[in-house]
Structure 1
Amino acid sequence: MCASAARPVEDGRGHDARGAINMGFVMDPNKCASNGNGTCEKARSETEKDDYDPFSEREVSRQYSNLGAFFHLLKGGLGSGIMAMPMAFSHSGLILGVVGTIVTGIVCTHCMVILVRSAQTLYFRLRIPTLGMGETAEAAFANGPKRLRPLATFARNFVKLSLFFCYAMSMSAYIVAIGSSVQQMVEQHSHKDILDQRIYIVALMVPLIPMCQLRLLKHLVPCSFIANSCIVAGLGITVYYIFHELPDPESRRFGVKDIQGMPIFFSTALFAMEGIGSVMPIENTMKNPRKMTGWTGVMTLAMTCIVALFACVGFLGYLKFGDNTLGNIALSLPTEEIPAQVVKVLIGVAILFTVPVQYFVCAEILWSYISPYVTPARHRLGEGVTRAVLIICCMVLAVAIPDLDLIISLVGAIFFSALGIFVPAAIELVVDWETSDRATRFGLAGKNGALIAVSVFTAVSGVYAALYEAVYKPEAQPSP
């Protein structure tokens, strides 16, 4: 999910910095010959049959072991988004919530797997060792069916801009969450409403603008460590509260309150557990990239653990707090108790130090588009101004929509359904189409067509349901 404290990500200077794929790698269409079954043999060309090994050309000094990649995927998935799962269950009910979490996890995992497999196919075809997610989309279309090749640059820009808006809106959600925590703490100790929530959000500009000027990943390592430590500690105390005087399951809904609840559930679950932005950077730095996929692959094992933990937290969190569950479960804890106040502080600090890590991605993508228009002598000043303006824009969005539930649902519905489902399905379809026989093409079209349809339906229904919920949101009832 985007809401991770310390996941590797594509950015303008890292994996996505190379920009456009060298069109010298585009395979010669004249090498395409019919095999009698209407199948194009060009991708079975000599580049795939020789001894070229893309994985042997990678930098050895910075490679992860399988265990290291597993923990990076696990750490990436277990970000602050896990605290939103009880709110997702409040829209689905207990049983449908568990089933929906498992289904969402299976879809997310499959889409990550087909993205990696498609990229690894392109390594051999193009004789290059690594590709970022945007580069994979561009290379897929540049070497796909002839009619789709003009879309290659659009595909890369679509992925990069989707990543940008995904992380930017996620940061707005973080800022709202921090503002809500600070407001609760101030009102608890002052015993009265002093300021509007928007004032607390605006005040966050003081620490965030300088924090978001960090331009090297190594300087963000302490931020990641602090954020992860606070999330673990805060989640531990929250689990104590969840198990303390746990209500009878029969006191909670087992199914949806209304049909509009399920799109919001899926949007929130996608926001919480989707980690598509971290997949290619981790694969690019593995010692054994072939172990990334498969039934016993690193990704499958990591996502199994993530889905199981998310289902447990969502189930137990909703069982404890019922329909009063808020967008961040820490906000649902009793404000008058010291341990609960500690959790709010810990989660607030965790999210505060998560923002610079996520912000790095947005700033690098945006700067990659702006930098060509700035003279080299003014690059440092220009990048600093760009970073300051961007974080201010995120705060303006947070002030305009200070509703954490709404932002989470919209980000999940629009951007995670596009990046996590639509893009991998489209890439696999384009990469494998001309190398498949007619029966395989039929299966590819059916399976990936269904995934694309699910993505579009999730986006449309999720946006509608989130906006409907925001406009006609009922008053919360006391939870027994």
Structure 2
Amino acid sequence: MLAIGCIALHCMHTLVDCSHILCKRTGSMSLDYAEVLEVALKTGPEKLRRYSRLGKNIVNGFLIFTQFGFCCVYIVFIASNIKEVIHQFHPGDPSIIVYEVIVLAAIIPLVCVRSLSIMAPFSAFANVLTVIGMVIIFQYLIQDIPSVSSRPAISSVDNMPMFFGTAIFAVEGISLVLPLENNMKRPEEFGGWTGVLNLGMTIVMAMYTAVGFYGYLKFGEDVEGSITLNLPKDQWLYMSVKLMFCVIIYISYSIQFYVAIKIIWPKTRHFFKSKSSHTKGEYVFRITLAVVIFGIAAGIPHLDLLISLIGAAASTALALLLPAFIQMITLAGEPSLSSDDDSEDGEMDAEVQGFSRIPKAYIIKNLAIFLFGLLGWVTGTYSSLKAIVQVF
């Protein structure tokens, strides 16, 4: 978990560094993830320039898949936890699909919110609930915790691809890195050893690792897909935690949904002619997408498998594969990597551009990250799809 987190963090820094280089190269104030790949290809080696628009569409495609995947997971998470709570009082409660329909009904008003600023106070409330919920969870995990020697230290190698997808799903936040830096009052404090990015990811990784470590010691290998589903089912304190996280995830749904809508809607709204039809059409479009997401979630109601599939199939590409590729293209498009290569008239010699100019350390590093990500992408996606097929 720590190794994957460190690699993902390095790739976040790589994307930020490439964004700075490309902004300086083109005179742009800021770039988002898709624009970084587009500009890198457009200003990179000549043979690759024709693929700049395709590169942007690929990134946007992965972003849409990932964000909608998060939304699918959120529906299953909320429905599963509410079902557990209701089941304590009504053992003959309906199947999970009924709860997912109820969640969909509650989500439809949420997806019709067109401005994230409206959600700001609710997001702050969700952060408070998160802290309270985590404190309650950890105090339970460390009570009467078994000895480390009571659990197998190493699991089967066959489980690694599934874990890889789950871990990448957890740490993949690279799509939000550039928007965060671009909207900071002091962007210079984002990077660096003691910057916002390192501090935030260190806290996140510490929490993920602690939940995984102590959760495994407490519950062993026979566990559900979420830490909340493993809490005692008959105590009000822990039932309240499940409901807290349902509220948290419900609020977070709008943020994940907003990212995808921001990409898709501008390409769709030209089908609606008048301004009034624009607004009505957007509402219909948002509700339709919410129903489609519900259909996917209802089709794969297994939280752990859904997380692993989305992590391996989409998050791996965004978190590992594309940043390594982007840095290679960006550096290959640099007219000079040192002042010694400047031509006499102050212009860079275009003939020395290309991959041969990239330092070997960068080539080896990016190739290693790319191959590691590719291995995880192939094996994780295959293992997740195989497990889903076996479940059905």
- TM-score scaled to structure 1, two decimals? 0.74
What is the number of equivalent residue pairs in this alignment?
371
Change (3 A) 1:195 1:206: same
Residue among 313, 320, 330 paired with 2:211: 313
1:221 Cα deviation from its structure 2 partner: 1.0
Tell me the residue number matched to 1:244. 143
Tell me the residue number matched to 1:391. 290
Residue among 399, 403, 414 paired with 2:302: 403
Separation (CA, whole Å) in 1 of partners of 2:246 and 2:222: 20
Q: Gaps (5+ residues) in structure 1?
A: 1-100, 474-480
> What secondary structure is seen at the aligned counterpart in 1 of 2:225?
coil
Separation (CA, whole Å) in 2 of partners of 1:353 and 1:282: 19
Question: Quick check: 1:451 aligned with 2:357?
Answer: no
1:158 counterpart letter in structure 2: I
Q: Is the 8 A contact 1:223 1:357 kept in 2?
A: no
1:181 Cα deviation from its structure 2 partner: 0.9
1:307 Cα deviation from its structure 2 partner: 1.6
- Counterparts in 2 of 1:27-38, with a 5 A limit? none
1:359 counterpart letter in structure 2: F
Tell me the residue number matched to 2:268. 370
Change (3 A) 1:382 1:472: closer
Q: Deviations over 1:254-301 (max 9, x none)?
A: 101x21211111211111122101110111123443443333333223
Question: Quick check: 1:130 aligned with 2:48?
Answer: no
Tell me the residue number matched to 1:281. 179
- Counterparts in 2 of 1:72-471, with a 5 A limit? 101-190=1-90, 192-256=91-155, 258-377=156-275, 378-435=277-334, 436=337, 438=356, 440-471=358-389
2:180 counterpart letter in structure 1: I
Separation (CA, whole Å) in 2 of partners of 1:157 and 1:350: 31
1:418 Cα deviation from its structure 2 partner: 0.6
Change (3 A) 1:342 1:209: same
Separation (CA, whole Å) in 2 of partners of 1:165 and 1:372: 22
> What secondary structure is seen at the aligned counterpart in 2 of 1:386?
helix
Separation (CA, whole Å) in 1 of partners of 2:89 and 2:262: 40
> What secondary structure is seen at the aligned counterpart in 2 of 1:323?
coil
> What secondary structure is seen at the aligned counterpart in 1 of 2:220?
helix
Change (3 A) 1:470 1:433: same
Q: Deviations over 1:192-229 (max 9, x none)?
A: 23211111101212211111100011111133123222
Q: Gaps (5+ residues) in structure 2?
A: 338-351
Q: Is the 8 A contact 1:226 1:353 kept in 2?
A: no
Tell me the residue number matched to 2:342. none
1:441 Cα deviation from its structure 2 partner: 4.1
Q: Deviations over 1:302-345 (max 9, x none)?
A: 32222222211210111111112222101101101111111111
> What secondary structure is seen at the aligned counterpart in 2 of 1:116?
helix
Separation (CA, whole Å) in 1 of partners of 2:184 and 2:258: 23
Separation (CA, whole Å) in 1 of partners of 2:97 and 2:28: 49
Q: Is the 8 A contact 2:43 2:333 kept in 1?
A: no
Q: Deviations over 1:145-187 (max 9, x none)?
A: 0011011111111111211110101111000011101111111
Q: Is the 8 A contact 1:109 1:300 kept in 2?
A: yes
Q: Deviations over 1:418-446 (max 9, x none)?
A: 11111111111101014348474433332
Q: Is the 8 A contact 1:171 1:355 kept in 2?
A: yes
Separation (CA, whole Å) in 1 of partners of 2:18 and 2:198: 17
Separation (CA, whole Å) in 1 of partners of 2:103 and 2:383: 30
Change (3 A) 1:434 1:352: closer
Q: Is the 8 A contact 2:331 2:358 kept in 1?
A: no
Q: Which has the higher helix share?
A: 2
- TM-score scaled to structure 2, two decimals? 0.90
> What secondary structure is seen at the aligned counterpart in 2 of 1:108?
helix
- Which stretch has the larger CA shift, 367-376 or 287-296? 287-296
> What secondary structure is seen at the aligned counterpart in 1 of 2:30?
coil
Q: Is the 8 A contact 1:141 1:152 kept in 2?
A: yes
Change (3 A) 1:440 1:144: closer
1:210 counterpart letter in structure 2: P
Separation (CA, whole Å) in 2 of partners of 1:330 and 1:153: 43
Separation (CA, whole Å) in 2 of partners of 1:219 and 1:296: 32
Separation (CA, whole Å) in 1 of partners of 2:359 and 2:220: 46
- Which stretch has the larger CA shift, 340-349 or 230-239? 230-239
Change (3 A) 1:222 1:286: closer
Tell me the residue number matched to 1:5. none
Tell me the residue number matched to 1:95. none
Give RMSD over aligned pairs. Answer: 1.7
